[in-house]
Chains A and B, each alone.
Chain A
Amino acid sequence: MARLSRRRLIGGASAGLAAAGLCRLGTANADNASPRVTRVLIVNAPGGLRSTAAFNASTATDLNPWGVAGTFGSVTLGNVLVGGGIAHDAPSWPTPVIPELSSIADQFAMIGAADHAPDGSHRNGDHNDDTVRMATGYFGKADAPGLLTVINRALGADANAPVAVVGARHFGIAPGDWLAHAPIELVYYQMPDQPPNGGHPQVGQLLEDALDQRYASRRRAQARGVLDSYRGTKDVMRKFGPLLAQPTLKMGQFADAEVDGITNQMLGEIGGIDSSGDTQSLGLAIRLLQLGSPAVALDLESFDWHDNEQTEAPQRYPRFARYLAGLHFALANIADPDGGGSLLDTTLVLTTSEFGRSGAPGGFNEGAGTDHGSGPGWRYQAHVLFGGGIVPKLIAPTDSANEPTEGNVSTHALLATIACAVGAPIEIVESVWPSGSALFPEGQALWQLWD
């Protein structure tokens, strides 16, 4: 995929960047610092996806009792993920078959070993701790914003559709001064039926605005900032309210509602198998991207089996594979509304989870599951990336024990890279994930993904 031109950048959705510093995170080359993509989709697998059995499949039984299906480009897929994988139908699409994941996996890049906390400040495998860490880069830092909050602050005001979290709410953490930049949380079955009625413009809205103004003017400067943020959030609601009430965002309903020929029905087919909530959420996320959202974070499935993983995982991991394959298929077959190629060309997709799993002798603990909180299988996660013009490659590979063999990648580097790639200015990125800190020892974005 071609790097976005400066003209397009300045003239398009990222116009706000013209006045801001380019994201030269770790590079002195201004051209090398220009945004790479216009959209980002985070596909989060909550609960602790066993990446040593999925994308970075290990030959060690302790970490991957199901075995390895094969290596496809930069990723090594596990049997539990694709062993039973089959292509699935998408009858409403011009090409009515979605290929199985292994047939497109050679287009993926992978970070084999992303370290939770390079400074050694690991916690002990608590979901709450590490979910926040995955989204913000920090353990227990109360003023740390989530990745999508950062992106929303940088790009949300000029976007045509809102930055949104669809279940993966930690990516939208917005403490303190970030309050106004919290992305909207959307649930596919809770979309508004009609634009929010904020009162009559000359009566209710007028009084509301006057009350806000009066109250804010009577607060000290710092408190007034929070009030102003709240008022700004209301402005965003008034801007996006009509859009969010459109039938095209009501997955599972209005099958014929369409945007540029892509109907709700078509989006409902990409998950295959069924009309599950995750399928609808995935459809909603894609629709938001199509409408111009710079970033969406999405939860798909859940992977925390301390027991019964042995029997449950072979059911659920293939579903996750189908979702990813369907997502890739849909993005590749939806035209970029800004012109040029497809959404896949301009949308970066990243898989995340709060951590991996520790593994156990023979592959499972006594409850036929796995735990988390110790060992390289837990500590070093594999993240898959595709779309957005990235070059398929493997960064930070691991050995069969999941120990990194060529260094690892910090969470900060990953989050900063995503923010920079979509066009967040360096000032914002550096303020959240300062380069060179103990949590960001690389000090530079992972630009090699595009080189």
Chain B
Amino acid sequence: MHGTARRDVAALGLAAAASLGGCNGGGSGTPDRNDGSTGTDTAAAGDADNSGDAMTGDDSGGASGSDTTEPMPPPPPSDNVIDVAIWPRIVAEGAYPLVPADDRTLCRRMALDLWGMVPTPAEFTALCEGQAPGSIAWSMMEDPRFVARETRLWIRAVGVDAPDIYSHHIPDADAIYERLSTGEIDYAEFAGELLAHPVMAVARPEADGDDPSFTIRQAFRFFLGRPAQGDEFTQLRNLMRVWARGWESRPGPGPSYKRPAYLDGSLCQDPVYDDALCTATLFGQETIVDLSGVFYPNVPPQGFENSVDGMFYFEMVHGGGMPPEFQAELIKPGLLLASQDAFWDEASERALSRILGWWRSTADEPDSTVPEVGIALGAWWKDHPTHDIRELYAVILSSVLYTTDAAVDDTTESRSIWSVGPTRLMDGEQYLDSLQVAFDRELGFCDPHTAEPTGAGAYDDVLREPQPADFYGFGYDAYYDWGTQLGGCVGGDLVPRQPGLRSVFAHTDLADQLCAPPSRLSADGFDLGDTSDPNRHAAIEFLYATMLARLPDDSEWQLIDAASQTCLEDLACGADGLSGLLREVCGAIIRSGEFVFY
């Protein structure tokens, strides 16, 4: 949770950075979307008063300017706000100069994070080779795969799954995530729309019925990273009263309409104003959600066997469209949350966690060990003139926390987590989607909205995108089966699932099944009958490049050559010659930690 104490710590870090690098209160560093260089935005990253206090207590080793015998530590490598904030720690640790990840490694890392899959060699050449991190990031974020990945992660973050809500509402929210991911709406508008949608406004445990307490608590946790304080809970609840859940069933064939969201202005029952006005004074701002006149007279949606006092959300959106003036009222609570500093802090923390993996700062977990970075980024994000979330991501993706090489040697292995690049574990979908890319072979997909297999119950099958009858040649939903074994395909489920033995079995099974045609294990037109050393080396280099984004090093070649002899000359891999060897190498790679982690 965010608190004053952490902001003080952040000020310490920023002040130290200023003293070291001469940056005045922290840099800004929005990577330019065209060339990847840092920009010139000078928004302050820290609180001036706090920075002043912190300066006097700074013992991080920063130079004061009066001691000329001490070597001056180097300045931060850029004015990226994260680099500036983290730099004092890196200097204190003596971890500079940092070694940047090479182009292939960074390209693979970024594609996995932004697309959820490894890049092809052609994509490496087109998007990554010789490019600055910011440029790579923007190129990838303009790809539809980024939108799809973002949508999946937002579904998981919002954490709603049938039957906590009428299942039709769940994919309906995709449009909000997509508009955010394409820059069509900014992050404040995102909060407004999300809190004006059933996935956030009414999705809650069945036992809660029409009690909106869950929603209110979730709104504070999700957007502000803290519980409601004082009368904030009551005030936000007042504004959300219009939302309720129906208990309707639609006659005839088709989906059950059990628990669809509906809107009912009469639920406000404000004794002072009209009974269709929901009023509150939240964060010192008097706000009215005015639904008067919209619902009266009440006309039940066509096809419903019984009526409620309001209008079904689904019918409004998909029937004639949500009236704009009505939507303008519904988004008010979310926009109100966006008026708070904590809102931008929390957005920054969420982005850091999403991209770095190791970042921890949620309501249920301890604050990050480098809070000054979160606070500095949050301050920058709040004051930045635009709030396209891709800008926030680009800052993180081009910072040293992300772009540094993750490899260490004997002298650097004990470095802090912020002094090396991230090491992350692929989730189930990342793993399978990467295999699809590497093997140039369709394996299928699982629905991002639900953890249920097709036909299971709460999530309506009519909402699913169908897969071919033979499921890409497997004859069953292999993707879903593998995905669940790998801890993926969880829909809105937030239960932490780490891969254990079941995942390792799945890796082995995948190697057995996929390291053979029709998977592409060699370049088009490659002569698998030629077992000469140059040809064999070329084939193995192809596998390493497509799957690991690197080539074997000298010591690996020694091992590979010895194994090749066992395989080819001793027929240990059967009589398939080079094909048998490639199966073995392919299996070894996709079962290896180097592939599973990134």
Q: How far, in angstroms, from A211 to B592 measured CA to CA in the complex?
A: 6
The stretch that binds A, out of B194-202, B376-384, B502-510, is: B502-510
Using A175-B496, A175-B498, A198-B508 as known contacts, say yes or no to A203 and B559 having CB atoms under 8 A apart. no
Q: Any chain A CB within 8 A of the CB of B436?
A: no
Contact with A along B411-454 (1 / 0, CB 8 A): 01111010010010100000000000000000000000000000
Pick from B493, B496, B501: contact of A142, CB below 8 A.
B496
Measured between beta carbons, the chain A residues less than 8 angstroms from B592 are 208, 211-212, 215
User: Is A216 interfacial (CB-CB < 8 Å)?
Assistant: yes
Does B563 reach chain A (CB closer than 8 Å)?
yes
* Complex Cα gap A226–B247 (Å): 47
B413–A199 touching, CB < 8 Å: no
Checking A173, A183, A214 against B556 with a beta-carbon cut-off of 8 angstroms, the contacting residue is A214
- The reply to whether the CB of B274 lies closer than 8 angstroms to some CB of chain A is no
Is the Cβ of A230 less than 8 Å from the Cβ of B596? yes
Known contacts being A124-B213, A185-B500, is A199 close to B414, with CB within 8 Å? no
* Shortest distance from the beta carbon of B592 to any chain A beta carbon, whole Å: 4
Tell me whether B585 and A220 are in contact (CB under 8 A): no
Nearest CB in chain A: distance from B26 CB, A: 27
For A124, what are the chain B residues with a Cβ–Cβ distance below 8 Å? 205, 207-208, 213-214
Q: Which residue of A lies closest to B363 (CB)?
A: A140
Give Cα A190 to B505, complex, Å.
11
User: A374: nearest residue on chain B (CB-CB)?
Assistant: B207
Cα A220 to Cα B407 with chains together (Å): 7
Within 8 A of B (CB), among A200-242: 200, 202-208, 210-212, 214-216, 218-224, 226-227, 230-231, 233-234, 236-237, 240-241
> How many whole Å from B222's CB to the nearest CB in chain A?
14
Tell me which of A140, A199, A212, A219 contacts B408 (CB under 8 A): A219
B501 touches A183 (CB 8 A): yes
CB < 8 Å neighbour of A233 from B247, B409, B485, B500: B500
Contact of B495 among A132, A221, A237 (CB under 8 A): A132
- For A219, give the chain B residue with the smallest CB separation: B423
A182 and B597 contact, CB distance less than 8 A: no
Assess the B511–A179 pair: CB atoms within 8 A. Answer: no
Of the stretches B65-73, B235-243, B328-336, B565-573, the one at the interface is B565-573
Chain A, residue nearest B424 (CB):
A223
Contacts A172-B500, A179-B500, A184-B501 given: A211-B589 contact, CB under 8 Å? Answer: yes
With contacts A219-B423, A220-B420 known, is A227 near B597, CB below 8 A? yes
A371 and B406 contacting across the interface, CB-CB below 8 Å: no
Question: Nearest-CB distance from B296 to chain A (Å)?
Answer: 27
B247 CB → nearest A CB, Å: 8
Of A173, A219, A306, which one neighbours B206 at CB under 8 angstroms?
A: A306
Give the Cβ gap from A269 to chain B, nearest Cβ, in Å. Answer: 28
Tell me the nearest residue of chain B to A366, going by C-beta: B247
Per-residue 0/1 for B208-229: is the Cβ within 8 Å of any A Cβ (1 yes, 0 no)? 1100011000000000000000
Residues in B with CB closer than 8 Å to A208 are 587-589, 591-592
The answer to whether B573 touches A127, judged by C-beta atoms less than 8 angstroms apart, is no
- A220 engages B505 (CB within 8 Å): no
CB-contact partner of A222 in B214, B417, B485, B501, under 8 A: B417
B541 at the A interface (CB under 8 A): no
**Which residues of chain B have C-beta atoms less than 8 A from A185's C-beta?**
485, 500-502
Chain A contacts for B501, CB-based, 8 A? 162, 182-185, 233, 236-237, 240
CA A183 to CA B505, docked complex, whole Å: 12
A93 and B416 alpha carbons, distance in the complex (Å): 61
Contacts of A437 in B (CB 8 A): none
Q: How far is the CA of A340 from the CA of B402 in the complex (A)?
A: 59
CB B420 to nearest CB in A, in angstroms, measures 5
B423, A373: Cβ atoms closer than 8 Å:
no
Given contacts A197-B508, A203-B584, contact A128 B567 (CB under 8 A): no
A250: CB under 8 A from chain B? Answer: no
B504's partner among A214, A222, A234 (CB-CB below 8 A) is A234
For residue B594, CB closer than 8 A to chain A, the reply is yes
| A184 CB contacts on chain B under 8 angstroms | 500-502, 505
Contact across chains for A237 and B505 when beta carbons are under 8 A apart = yes
Provide the B474-517 mask, 1 if CB < 8 A to any CB of A, else 0: 00000001000100000001111111111111001101100000
Which B residues lie within 8 Å of A214 (CB)?
555-556, 594
In angstroms, Cα B512 to Cα A140, docked, is: 38
A204 and B585 contact, CB distance less than 8 A: yes
Partner of A204, one of B425, B587, B597: B587
From B413, B496, B584, give the contact of A207 (CB < 8 A): B584
Distance, CA A207 to CA B364, complexed state (A): 41
Q: Note all chain B residues with C-beta closer than 8 A to A219.
A: 406-408, 413, 423
Question: Given A199-B587, A200-B572, A220-B420: A226 and B425 within 8 A (CB)?
Answer: yes
Does B493 contact A183, Cβ atoms closer than 8 Å? Answer: no
In-complex Cβ contact of B500 among A142, A170, A174, A227 (8 A): A174
Known: A124-B208, A175-B498, A179-B498. A202 touches B566 (CB 8 A): yes
- Please give, as numbers and ranges, the residues of chain B lying within 8 Å of A128 by CB-CB distance: 493-495
Let me know if A203 and B497 touch, CB within 8 A. no
B560 sits at the interface (CB 8 A)? yes
A153-197 CB contacts (< 8 Å) to partner B: 162, 169-170, 172-176, 178-186, 190, 192, 196-197
Cβ-based interface call for B230 (8 A):
no
Interface presence of B337 (CB below 8 A):
no
Q: Is the CB of A200 within 8 A of B573?
A: yes
Closest to B595 in A: A211
List of A residues within 8 angstroms of B208 by Cβ: 124-125, 373
Docked pose: A361 CA to B560 CA in angstroms? 73
Q: Are A220 and B417 in contact (CB under 8 A)?
A: yes
Shortest beta-carbon distance from B148 to chain A in Å:
25
Shortest CB–CB separation between residue A140 and chain B, in angstroms? Answer: 4
Contacting A203 at CB < 8 Å: which of B206, B481, B503, B573? B573
Does B455 interact with chain A (Cβ within 8 Å)? no
- Residue B559 contacts which of A175, A206, A234, A236 (CB distance < 8 angstroms)? A206
Chain A contacts with B in 247-287, Cβ cutoff 8 A: none
Identify which of B409, B500, B555, B585 gathers the most chain A CB atoms within 10 Å of its CB: B500
Interface: A402 (CB within 8 A): no
**CA–CA, A140 to B365, complex, Å?**
8
Closest beta carbon of chain B to A171's beta carbon, Å: 12
Please measure, in the bound complex, the distance between the C-alpha atom of A218 and the C-alpha atom of B421, giving whole angstroms: 12
Residues of A within 8 A of B593 (CB): 211-212, 215-216, 227, 230-231
Partner of A210, one of B407, B423, B504, B556: B556
A126 CB–B CB distance under 8 Å: yes
Please name the residue on chain A nearest to B570 by beta carbon: A202
Q: Which residues of chain B are within 8 angstroms of A240 by Cβ–Cβ distance?
A: 501
Cβ–Cβ contact B508 & A237, under 8 A: yes
> A220 to B572, Cβ gap below 8 A?
no
Q: Which residues of A contact B20 (CB under 8 A)?
A: none
Check A372 for interface membership: any CB of B closer than 8 A: yes
For the complex, what is the distance from the CA of A176 to the CA of B206, rounded to whole Å? 31
**CA–CA, A127 and B493, complex, Å:** 11
Q: CB distance B364 to A141 under 8 Å?
A: yes
Q: Closest CB-CB distance, A163 to chain B, in whole Å?
A: 9
Report whether A221 and B414 are in contact in the complex, using a CB–CB cutoff of 8 Å.
Answer: yes
Shortest Cβ gap from A138 to chain B (Å): 9
Which chain B positions have C-beta within 8 A of A212?
592-594
Task: Please state if A199 and B205 are interface contacts (CB–CB under 8 Å).
Answer: no
Name, among A125, A169, A204, the residue most crowded by chain B CB atoms within 10 Å (CB to CB). A204
Q: A124-B205, A200-B573 are in contact. List 8 more A-B contacts (CB 8 A).
A: A126-B204, A184-B500, A207-B560, A207-B585, A220-B413, A227-B597, A233-B503, A373-B208
- List 30 A-B pairs, Cβ < 8 Å: A128-B495, A142-B364, A162-B501, A169-B497, A173-B496, A175-B496, A176-B498, A186-B502, A196-B509, A198-B508, A203-B572, A203-B584, A205-B588, A207-B588, A208-B587, A208-B589, A211-B594, A212-B593, A214-B556, A215-B592, A215-B593, A218-B406, A220-B413, A223-B406, A233-B500, A233-B503, A234-B591, A237-B504, A367-B247, A373-B207
The 7 closest A-B pairs by CB, nearest first: A182-B500, A373-B207, A184-B501, A207-B588, A211-B592, A204-B584, A140-B364
